Structure 1
Amino acid sequence: MEGSGGLQSSEEKGAEKCMDDYLKSIGLQRKKIAKDGSCLFRAVAEQVLHSQSLHTKVRAKCVEFLKHNRESYEAFVEGNFEEYLCKLQDPQHWVGEVEINALAVQLCFLNGNHYDSVYPISHVRSAAICQSILYELLYDRVFKVERSALSVCQRVPRSSDVPTDDTLPPCASSDESDGRGRGRHLPERVKRSLNPALYRNVEYDVWTKSKRAQQKMDFCIAAGMQYTVGDRCQVRLDNSGRSYSATIKEVSPSNGPVMVYIEELGRKWHKPLLSLSLSLSEWDERGRGRGRGKPPPASAPPSSVSQATAPGSAGRVQKQHSWPQQAAADEQGGARGSRCL
């Protein structure tokens, strides 16, 4: 199943809504789990060992149990049973009904390939209150945040409240917000954690953040082109979303910041590659083979993706395209700062 960076189809969203409505009707609440090959073991680790981080130990125990009870499960496995157990040890290997029968916990199966945890709604509401108390102590006693800023986030829970933030939009990247906060300017994820009426799914939030960072890194590597002095580009100076037309004046080694001249402002800036993207005219020139950059070597296939390399004598650095629309939207809003809990 696609990570948070990908878009869900209307069919997948509909399936999740139907499942949530059904669970609510019987007093249960679905808790989202990281969407990778270990989702089943993460859910079991949380329910049995109270920590998703122990999912590798649960997987190892599952493999051991299946190995010792081969006669009960071999008939349900396609192919060689020993090879199956060997593949099962891979943290990214997907699992199914055989492993569920071996583990036997309360789970929710969605869209044919993903498992989420299921808890009584009363359990989720109690966890929200405990989480709120913990974060209040942390931000009051340790981070010394003003009490007035904390009290704004706290109120008496109501029966109509949504018990978890799984149904809310993801929090903005914590790289853009100060985890401790200044006055009343607390990051959204901290406000959710301080709210006794809302349980913040910390594990899923952390996984979403790391997934987004990995996607950005992959996108940077996949750009596969190089900026050179004289290239025309678009530059973002802040999180407002506005871009300025500019010309590259200097490049730095190891994909470091580049110097650009912005005509509209009449000055030079040193900006990281993440802030740059090719202008439409430059894309057109590159596509026709008339850009300033050198064409790829003849031995390289047209569709291959080149890896980031150290700059040569021409002082070239890897080119960074503009981010996809959703990733760019996720990075807007919030003050700059350090990590947030």
Structure 2
Amino acid sequence: GGEWHDDPNHPSYQRPNEADENKQEEPEIDSEIPMQSEENTQMDKDLKALICVQPAAQNFKPTTKVQVPSEKAFQLARKRLADQLRLYGVVEYRIAGDGSCQFASLSDQLFRSLSKTDALRAHAVRQLREFPEYYVEFVHDNNYVNYCNKMSKQSTWGDHLTLQALADRFLIVINLLTSYEHTPHVEIKPRHTGTVKRHVWLSFFGEVHYNSLYPANRIQERLDKDKHSCRIS
């Protein structure tokens, strides 16, 4: 019932999960995702050693606006990103462009598997609903409830705000090698930086697609894991 207000200090304010009576059921998610392993720690170190890039943009501000580039800009962006990847000796583990590429790329980085894609989307939405005061100012159409509801659907593209939400929730630093001309490396830090658990690395192309990054000399390990999974199934 009642009008919902974006200002958490307003007397009529309700948290989105309370205000929205018709939200879809979220998939089952783990109470705590185990992300540390010897393999992950070594892979993180290998990537960080390769990608000692210029200082990342420190004034990262999340946005929910997506600007799809023109065809000409698209081609230039593709070349810029390819040059970036070659420069640092990293390659992309290709993720399907099905609306969940951001969450799938993060699942691959965190677990070396795509199995947590839906769970990570649910975690992002839960973070947004539980702590609206951190994120509401970045939603440009001023309807935060609708934004959260839409983001809970599998076909909705993740954006900068969901990256920030997941960085905050899991105390991870999300590094993007991008196709942007002036900010080729974007670093998304958790709001509380006391104990950073992981550094993860994604490519981000033209506002439309994310892939998971690997050192060029280690991508075959990941591809072999896929082949092994296929043989088992």
TM-score normalised by length of structure 2 = 0.48
Q: Could you state the TM-score of these two structures normalised by the residue count of structure 1? A: 0.34
Which protein is bigger by CA-based radius of gyration? Answer: 1
